[in-house]
C-alpha cells in the first residue's frame, strides 16, 4: 500500500485494496492520517437550508424534489432574503460556522442567480461562511458567485461514472465535472462527495472515491451521504447498506484526501450513536447540524449535543477566512 502523502494518482485497485483491509487496520490508518492534519476531537458544523424547494427537472432517483416523482412534496418558490438571514442567524446562534443554501434547479437562470448573490452577501455580512448548491453552473456564473464572496460550492458526484446512469439520466457525469472545473477556476472551495446505499457495489464506491481524490485539487469538503429512502422515488426500495461499509468508505475518504473535511451528511438521522462514533473515529470531522436537510430529516440538535458530550468532542468554531487557491 502507498504512504499517506497527498496524491492525485490513485488507481482503482489501490482503493479497492484499501476498502478491503481488516476493519481495525483501516480505522487505525485513517485515524493516524486524521491526527496528522486535524484536531481529532473537533468537528466543523454547517447548517443547510432549502431556499427553493421542489419542481426540479432532473430525474435523480434518490431525490424527493424531482418533478418526475410523486413524493407529496409541496414545491416552494425562492425564499425571501429576510427569511434566509433569519435562518442563518439562528444557525449561528446554535454553533454553526457555515450556512449552506440549496435550490432545486437543474441550473440557475442569471436572474435567479442575482437573488442568490444577495443571500450570499447578506449571510457573509453576519460573519458566517457561505455555501450554495444550485445545480450546474456556467463559467460566468461561477465568476459571479466568486465576486459575491461565496466560500464553498457544493456539487456532488453522487456515485461512480460506471453506476451513474442507473441513478440519473438528465445530466451526465461529465456535466458534474465541468461545473466543478468552473468553480475551481474561480478559487471557490469545492464541496463534493457522494451517496452510499443506492445499490452500488464496493467497486463503485472505490471508483467514486478515485474520481474525487484524483481531481486537480482535492475537494475542501467531502460529504458522505447515506441514502434516505424516500417513498415515491425509484430508490425507495433500495436494500440498506451495511453500516460497516459506510464507515469503511469514510475511512478511505480520509486516507485518500487527508487535508479535506469529511462530512457526515444525509442519512445521519438514521444512524445510531455508535455508528456515528465509528465515523468520527474513521476521520469524519464535519457534519450538518440542524433538524432538517433540504427536504429530509436530520438528527435532533439536542441529541447531537449529548453525543458530543459523551464522546468528548467539541464544535470547531474557527472558519477559513478565504477560499482555497485556484487549482
- The radius of gyration of the chain from alpha carbons, rounded to an integer in Å, stands at 18
User: Which residues belong to the active site?
Assistant: 56, 60, 63, 100, 131, 191, 263
* Beta-carbon contacts of residue 261 (< 8 Å; ≥ 6 apart): 44, 220, 221, 222, 285, 286
User: CA dist 96 to 93, 207, 314, Å?
Assistant: 7, 32, 12
Taking a C-beta distance cutoff of 8 angstroms, is the pair 315, 45 a contact? Answer: yes
Please tell me the distance from the alpha carbon of residue 119 to that of residue 140, in angstroms, as a whole number: 18
Taking a C-beta distance cutoff of 8 angstroms, is the pair 286, 95 a contact? Answer: no
Helix (H/G/I), strand (E/B), else coil: 314: strand
For residue 263, list its beta bridge partners. 223, 286
Which pLDDT value is given to residue 55?
Answer: 65
The CA angle 189-292-269, to the nearest 5 degrees, is 95
Dihedral sign (CA 277, 96, 52, 208): negative
* Beta-carbon contacts of residue 304 (< 8 Å; ≥ 6 apart): 287, 289
Q: Which residue is it, cell 489501490?
A: 14
Taking a C-beta distance cutoff of 8 angstroms, is the pair 38, 260 a contact? Answer: no
Which pLDDT value is given to residue 73?
Answer: 62
Which pLDDT value is given to residue 234?
Answer: 81
Helix (H/G/I), strand (E/B), else coil: 130: strand
Helices (H), the chain: 12-19, 23-37, 81-93, 110-125, 139-148, 173-185, 202-213, 243-256, 273-281, 301-311
For residue 14, list its beta bridge partners. none
In a structure prediction context, what are the per-residue pLDDT tens digits for the chain, which is 327 residues long?
444 568 999 999 999 999 999 999 999 999 999 999 999 999 988 778 888 776 677 778 888 777 667 666 666 778 899 989 988 888 888 777 788 888 888 888 888 899 999 999 999 998 888 999 898 999 999 999 999 999 999 999 999 999 999 998 888 999 999 999 999 999 999 999 999 999 999 999 999 999 999 999 999 999 999 998 888 888 888 899 999 999 999 999 999 999 999 999 888 888 999 999 999 999 999 987 755 444 444 456 688 888 999 999 988 754 443 333 332
Please tell me the distance from the alpha carbon of residue 322 to that of residue 190, in angstroms, as a whole number: 13
DSSP letter assigned to residue 194? E
Which pLDDT value is given to residue 279?
Answer: 96
Which pLDDT value is given to residue 301?
Answer: 65
Rounded to the nearest 5 percent, the helix, strand and coil shares of the chain are: 40, 15, 45
User: CA dist 105 to 16, 260, 267, 326, Å?
Assistant: 34, 27, 22, 26
- Rounded to the nearest angstrom, the gap between the alpha carbon of residue 269 and the centroid of all alpha carbons in its chain is 15
Taking a C-beta distance cutoff of 8 angstroms, is the pair 84, 75 a contact? Answer: no
Amino acid at each position: 500500500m502507498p504512504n499517506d502523502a497527498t496524491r492525485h494518482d490513485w488507481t482503482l485497485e489501490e482503493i479497492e485494496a484499501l476498502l478491503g483491509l481488516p476493519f481495525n487496520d483501516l480505522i487505525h490508518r485513517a485515524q493516524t492520517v486524521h491526527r496528522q492534519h486535524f484536531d481529532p476531537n473537533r468537528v466543523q458544523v454547517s447548517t443547510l437550508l432549502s431556499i427553493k424547494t421542489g419542481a426540479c427537472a432532473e430525474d435523480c432517483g434518490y431525490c424527493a424534489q424531482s418533478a418526475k416523482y410523486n413524493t407529496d412534496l409541496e414545491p416552494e418558490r425562492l425564499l425571501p432574503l429576510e427569511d434566509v438571514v433569519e435562518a442563518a442567524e439562528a444557525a449561528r446562534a446554535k454553533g454553526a460556522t457555515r450556512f449552506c443554501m440549496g435550490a432545486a434547479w437543474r441550473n440557475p437562470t442569471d436572474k435567479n442567480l442575482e437573488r442568490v448573490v444577495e443571500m450570499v452577501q447578506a449571510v457573509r455580512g453576519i460573519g458566517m461562511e457561505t455555501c450554495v448548491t444550485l445545480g450546474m453552473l456556467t463559467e460566468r456564473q461561477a465568476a459571479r458567485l466568486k465576486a459575491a464572496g461565496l466560500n464553498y460550492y457544493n456539487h456532488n458526484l453522487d456515485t461512480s461514472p460506471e453506476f451513474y446512469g442507473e441513478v440519473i439520466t438528465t445530466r451526465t457525469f461529465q456535466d458534474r465535472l465541468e461545473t466543478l472545473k468552473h468553480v475551481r477556476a474561480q478559487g471557490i472551495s469545492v464541496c463534493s462527495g457522494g451517496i452510499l446505499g443506492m445499490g452500488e457495489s464496493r467497486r463503485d464506491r472505490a471508483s467514486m472515491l478515485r474520481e474525487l481524490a484524483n481531481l486537480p485539487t482535492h475537494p475542501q469538503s467531502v460529504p458522505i451521504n447515506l441514502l434516505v429512502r424516500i417513498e415515491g422515488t425509484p430508490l425507495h426500495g433500495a436494500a440498506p447498506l451495511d453500516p460497516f461499509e459506510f464507515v469503511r468508505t469514510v475511512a478511505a475518504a480520509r486516507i485518500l484526501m487527508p487535508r479535506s473535511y469529511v462530512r457526515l451528511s444525509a442519512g445521519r438521522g438514521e444512524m445510531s450513536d455508535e455508528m456515528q462514533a465509528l465515523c468520527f473515529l474513521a476521520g469524519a470531522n464535519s457534519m450538518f447540524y440542524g433538524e432538517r436537510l433540504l427536504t429530509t430529516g436530520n438528527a435532533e440538535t439536542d441529541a447531537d449535543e449529548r453525543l458530543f458530550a459523551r464522546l468528548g468532542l467539541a464544535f470547531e468554531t474557527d472558519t477559513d477566512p478565504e477560499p482555497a487557491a485556484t487549482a
